[in-house]
Structure 1
Amino acid sequence: MNRRGLLGGLAAGGAALAGGAAARAADLPAGPRAVLVYTAVALLEERVSHGTTPYGERFLVPIIGGSFEGQDLRGRILPGGADWQLLRADGYLELVADYCMETDDKVQIKVTNRGLIQTVPGADGKRYAMTTPRYEAPMGKYGWLNQLIFAGTVAPGESKPPSVRLAIYKLV
């Protein structure tokens, strides 16, 4: 086989592979749709450095309260939670917030919210700041929180004490 025949065969094989990938992608279900569940403001104390570790600089940020409101649930964020943060060498901040929400009808829901925040805006002036909360709700009225995947955005709050604003979406 000459060089032209080999290259033609490779090109034809590559086109067949690309066509196969497109056909497989067409067989996939539609991607998730994000539906707003609630917005929240979490009140914080100043962060406390726990020093530099092999993974980056570790901080603790006490969660001292707040509120949340959406169509199907509303209430307050209870004091006593904490946000453990890790400032990585690449400038990204990893978050693991552990806290409890109490609905207006007095149901307590445990939240573990993992996040990733770009500390310095990109060339477009935007920052990546996303979270993935996981809920542990009692069975009953709020049991649906245990049965879905959620994603959210996080942004600095505008109040004193320090705060963050969250928008939490269910993926359906």
Structure 2
Amino acid sequence: MSEFDFGGRTLQSAPLCVARFEVAGGIMDLGASPWRTRRIGYITGGRFEGPRLKGDILPGGGNWSEAGVAADGAAIGTFDARCVWRTDDGALIHVSYTGRTWIPPEVGAAFRDPAQPEVAPDRYRIRIAPVFETSDPRYDWLNAVLAVGVGERLSDGVRHFIHAIG
């Protein structure tokens, strides 16, 4: 097998859920330090729904993001998010994810302004890679899930379309 032959190994994905995160009070912009530009969003609530998974996103989590500028002038970023989900039947699930954003200069101002109408999600990229942790035996299967998601900005938060990778 050559280094470029994947030997038939492929990845499949299946819809896991759609998660809508509310970030009331906006994003705290800490500005540019000598190392990075940091922004923090406090999760104030939300909801997730999918074929095997439904419930509320509890207040108290957050997203610690870092921003920079790509060679093409786009705003790029990375983030570290953590939160707790409670299923409709009472299970608690710790969710953490990293991700990347890419926002071209022509949509940057509208994207950062919560008063602007929705910015078409095909004009920017938000991608995440969540992992899950729970002690509830009904959702033990989540402990083995690696997921990816596509996000879109909302005026009061973000919505992620999350897929389990198999």
What TM-score, normalized by structure 2, do the two folds share? Answer: 0.80
Q: Does 1:107 align with 2:86?
A: no
* Residue 6 (structure 1) aligns with: none
Deviations 1:12-65 (A, max 9, x none): xxxxxxxx738x61x623310111000111100300112212342101100000
Aligned letter for 1:99? Answer: C
* Residue 21 (structure 1) aligns with: 2
Deviations 1:80-106 (A, max 9, x none): 111111112322111111110000011
Query: Quick one: which of 142, 146, 149 aligns to 1:152?
Result: 149
Residue identity (%): 25
Q: Output aligned runs, 1:108-127, within 5 Å.
A: 108-120=92-104, 126-127=123-124
* Residue 140 (structure 1) aligns with: 137
Q: Does 1:128 align with 2:125?
A: yes
Q: Does 1:39 align with 2:18?
A: yes
* Distance apart, 1:151 and its partner CA: 0.6
Distance 1:102 1:126, change over 3 A: same
Gapped regions of structure 2 (runs ≥ 5): 107-121
Aligned letter for 2:42? Answer: P
Aligned equivalents of 2:149 and 2:59: distance in 1? 21
Q: Does 1:53 align with 2:33?
A: yes
Q: Tell me, yes or no, if the aligned pair for 1:58 and 1:85 is still in contact at 8 Å.
A: yes
- Larger of the two Rg values belongs to structure: 1
What TM-score, normalized by structure 1, do the two folds share? Answer: 0.77
Gapped regions of structure 1 (runs ≥ 5): 1-19
Query: Quick one: which of 83, 89, 92 aligns to 2:63?
Result: 83
Aligned equivalents of 1:121 and 1:21: distance in 2? 41
* Residue 17 (structure 1) aligns with: none
Q: Tell me, yes or no, if the aligned pair for 1:121 and 1:127 is still in contact at 8 Å.
A: no
Aligned equivalents of 2:18 and 2:27: distance in 1? 23
